[in-house]
Amino acid sequence: MNKTNSKISIIGAGNVGSTFAYALMLSGAAREIVLVDRDRKRAEGECMDLNHGMSFTRPARIYASGYEGCAGADIVVITAGAKQKPGQSRLELVQKNADIFKEIIPEVIRYAKDAILLVVTNPVDVLTYATIKISGFSPNRVLGSGTVLDSSRLRFLISQHCHVDPRNVHAYIIGEHGDSELPVWSLASIGGMVLSEYCPLCDERCDYLKTLGGIFAEVKNAAYKIIDAKGATYYAVALALVRIVEAILRDENSVLPVSSLIEGYYGIDDVCLSVPALVNRKGIVRALRLKLSEKEREQFQGSAKKLQEIIDQVKW
Ligand code: NAD
């Protein structure tokens, strides 16, 4: 089903929510975009600003609302909450944003019983798990933006180093969207060649293992660096969200490393984290069973354990 009258409600009209609304407006993917924020004046100001550009884009109805604006939404995208302060880890935010979600999610589902819920607020994996539990929705209808952004950062940096179009670089960051995430180097490829075959034949003649290590360190520290420089990250995540939303609305069966409820995956159960998953109009169809190297498997299990410990610490 490819609907032409799609409605997206965005909870949180801050940096991420309003930049996503802008990117979504430019994409033309939604016919109706609603901004909900406890700071109603801010949401109204953002909508005015967006609407004043409408003569340059495809028409859409964009307005601020209370939670009743979630009624009939195809997807509710949740970006509300406190954001990381310089030097603060995503997990340090957890209790504060978990408390905000206890308020928000019951309000959202009161109006949007049939929607897909896309969680963006950090720590995104823990809050995706919380959203499944609080909403009681089937886990396939609740997903987090996960490592879609991190994987895009990885593909960009590889593409820059290797002088290859990022669209021809296939590489995934999996696990937590945060400090314990890991790159799946064993399966990363350019033009169908895994890097361990591609790199020794390439003209760059770099010490590729060292180079890849440096690239991953840059990916992992990217949010800290950007927050230190300008206070928040929002452009790339907004584009990542448009990509996820389009995959859902257009029933694309896209493979995206979104955060989803994992069951029986390398011995991991009952935690949300990112692995490449098939995404379509129903939400998450299934997580792909990657053949990880032994080291990657251990790191992935470590990432899941860390998230499970955080989930256990939060007062729900
Ligand atoms: P922001 O402070 O600019 O915006 C947050 C908005 O949420 C504010 O407008 C605030 O009024 C609103 N809000 C807070 N509590 C609310 C409530 N109870 N009900 C309704 N609205 C409420 O922050 P931001 O830069 O937009 O970041 C938002 C979140 O997105 C943060 O948690 C940040 O860490 C996260 N983020 C995630 C990713 C990702 O890849 N998952 C990337 C960037 C940022």
pLDDT digits (tens, 9 = 90+) for 82-104: 877 777 777 778 988 999 999 99
CB-based contacts of 213: which residues, under 8 Å, 6+ apart?
Answer: none
CATH 3.40.50.1220 is held by the domain 3-144 = no
Given a cut of 70, whether residue 3 has pLDDT beyond it is no
Give the integer Cα–Cα distance in Å for 238 and 258. Answer: 14
Q: Which residue has the tokens 């990432």?
A: 303
Cβ pair 117, 8 in contact under 8 A = no
> Average pLDDT in the 115-137 region?
97
Domain boundaries, the chain: 3-144, 148-313
- What would the CATH number be for the domain defined by 148-313? 3.90.110.10
Q: 159 C-alpha vs ligand 1 centroid, how far in Å?
A: 30
> Average pLDDT in the 173-181 region?
96
Phi-psi domain of 222 (left: phi exceeds 0; alpha: psi -120 through 50; beta: other): alpha
Atom of ligand 1 nearest to the CA of 120: 41
Q: pTM for this one?
A: 0.96
Mean pLDDT (the chain) is 95
The predicted structure's pLDDT at residue 28: 96
C-beta neighbour count of 227 within 10 angstroms: 17
The answer to whether the 3-144 and 148-313 domains have the same CATH topology is: no
The predicted structure's pLDDT at residue 139: 98
Which among 6-10, 94-98, 208-212 has the top mean pLDDT?
A: 6-10
Q: Which residues line ligand 1 (CB under 6 A)?
A: 11-17, 37-39, 42, 79-81, 83-84, 100, 103-104, 120-122, 124, 145, 149, 177, 232-234, 237
- Digit-coded pLDDT (tens) for 245-259: 999 999 999 999 999
Whether 177 is catalytic: yes
Given a cut of 70, whether residue 4 has pLDDT beyond it is no
- Digit-coded pLDDT (tens) for 186-204: 999 999 999 999 998 988 8
Class of residue 56 by CB neighbours under 10 A (exposed 0-12, middle 13-18, buried 19+): exposed
CB-based contacts of 294: which residues, under 8 Å, 6+ apart?
Answer: none
The predicted structure's pLDDT at residue 215: 97
Residues in the chain, total:
316
